[in-house]
Amino acid sequence: MKQLLQHCGILVAQEQGFRFLEDAFLGIDGDTIDYIGTERPQEVYDREKDLSGRLLLPGLINCHGHSPMVLLRGVGSALPLQEWLFEKMMPIEDRLTAEDIQAGNNLALLEMIATGTTSYSDMYFEPHTAAENAIACGIKANLSRPVQCFNKEETYEENFRVKESLQLFRDYHGAAEGRVRIDFAIHAEYTCFEHIVRPYSAACKELGGRMQVHISETKKEHDECVEKYGKTPARWFYDLGTFDSPTAAAHCVFVTEEDMALLLEKGVSVIHNPTSNMKLGSGFAPIQRMLDLGLNVTLGTDGAASNNNLNLMEELHLAAVLHNGYHRDPTILKPAQLLTMATRNGAKLQGREDTGALEVGKKADIIALDMTKPHLYPNLDPMALVVYSAQGADVVMTMVDGRILYENGEFLTLDADRILHEAKAAVKRLYG
């Protein structure tokens, strides 16, 4: 099927940043963009859709999260971190069944799709449920079963998380025409041991996988690692071969200059999670420095228990203003850099070089913003509007591989009523 989106604004990819087309046309052949221009294409399209007053952007890519934690949204707000984690989060997570997790992931999908996310990376247990949900609804997902080890005597072969991770890779990697990818994941240095990390990293490399880890999210984590091993978490992973596969490092709040050099050397992508880093009191990741060094910096929401949303438009906005304040400099992190972080850089992190930008030949992963809202007027600088003014609720169309998943408040591939019903049942089971 060939479809033509017409009379819309378009933020077209160019080598550096974006070029704005007004009253333009975007043609799609199957799952791929085959035309962009301000002239109506000569070719015939099977379907035409008038998008006057809309602005087309590449779909947003949420590179870090724990989607089923929407079921823990708002629990233990404003508690000290350790109390929040050990007394609130973990006891509830211990009660989660696969059914709860599937219900939570579906609830998360509603929120992400409605706010413009077309592809997301997720780290949680029972991830086959997220894989099935993604296959069913058409979103792109890089899913992982994070490896942890709390018993030093346990061997690599005995670790059930490693087994689950490898099984998941066999079962789902490349499913749904590649929309579902399975990544490898090590939760963090402080929740694992070298004798697990080394062979698991080797397995990732051998199987051609991608890796995701948490690195230096808190000062405590960073400092205790240095104390324990005489090296930072980034160096620890580097030395264990983890970065020998394409790796995504979430948070990186307390990375040193040497750490950043290691990440750069190995092409490790960084995931900035500004709301989570603020809300949990972690701190300010040196994002401008990372960009200056040439690191591939992306955006993530983290889980809804520490955000408390899965709305990447909100992360885009927060990242856009936060670092100005911290560095007392309004000139850093330019709008085009930020939108690139949320789109093209995310695609690179996920190993999806065929998406993340509106250009001919890329996959039709597209969102439309309603630019007729009073808060998006006047439209003197579309890029500034997207980054500083637009809201998740301004998304009126979310398309993945040429298929519309969400339009004008309606979910076309998800049964929102059923999902809310199932989420309510899960919440009832969890909290009584």
Select 20 or 193, whichever has its Cβ closest to a copy of itself. 20
Residue 333 within binding range of a copy of itself, rule CB under 8 A = yes
CB of 168 to a copy of itself, least distance (A): 26
Do 115 and 310 form a contact (C-beta atoms < 8 A)?
yes
Residue 424 within binding range of a copy of itself, rule CB under 8 A = yes
Q: Is 268 left (phi over 0), alpha (psi -120 to 50) or beta?
A: beta
Residue 410 within binding range of a copy of itself, rule CB under 8 A = no
Place of tokens 């980034």: 234
CB of 422 to a copy of itself, least distance (A): 11
Residue 281 within binding range of a copy of itself, rule CB under 8 A = yes
CB of 284 to a copy of itself, least distance (A): 6
Positions in 60-79 near a copy of itself (CB under 8 A)? 70-71, 73-75, 77-79
Which range touches a copy of itself (CB under 8 A), out of 30-38, 255-263, 275-283, 345-353? Answer: 275-283
Select 139 or 192, whichever has its Cβ closest to a copy of itself. 139
Residue 420 within binding range of a copy of itself, rule CB under 8 A = yes
Of positions 102, 282, 343, 398, contacts a copy of itself by CB under 8 A: 282
Q: Report which residue type is found at 19.
A: R
Of positions 279, 289, 403, 429, contacts a copy of itself by CB under 8 A: 279
CA–CA separation, 318 and 276 (whole Å): 11
Tokens standing for residue 41: 């294409």
Residue 145 within binding range of a copy of itself, rule CB under 8 A = no
Positions in 115-134 near a copy of itself (CB under 8 A)? 115
Residue 316 within binding range of a copy of itself, rule CB under 8 A = no
Do 284 and 323 form a contact (C-beta atoms < 8 A)?
yes
CB of 35 to a copy of itself, least distance (A): 29
Of positions 80, 174, 208, 267, contacts a copy of itself by CB under 8 A: 80
Of positions 335, 346, 356, 402, contacts a copy of itself by CB under 8 A: 335
Angle at 355 (CA atoms; ends 272, 308), nearest 5 degrees: 35
- Site pattern 191..230 for a copy of itself (x: CB under 8 A): ----------------------------x-----------
- Site pattern 364..393 for a copy of itself (x: CB under 8 A): --------x-xx-xxxxx-xxx-xxx-xxx
CB of 216 to a copy of itself, least distance (A): 14
CB of 107 to a copy of itself, least distance (A): 6
CB of 78 to a copy of itself, least distance (A): 5
CB of 333 to a copy of itself, least distance (A): 8
Of positions 164, 224, 416, 429, contacts a copy of itself by CB under 8 A: 416
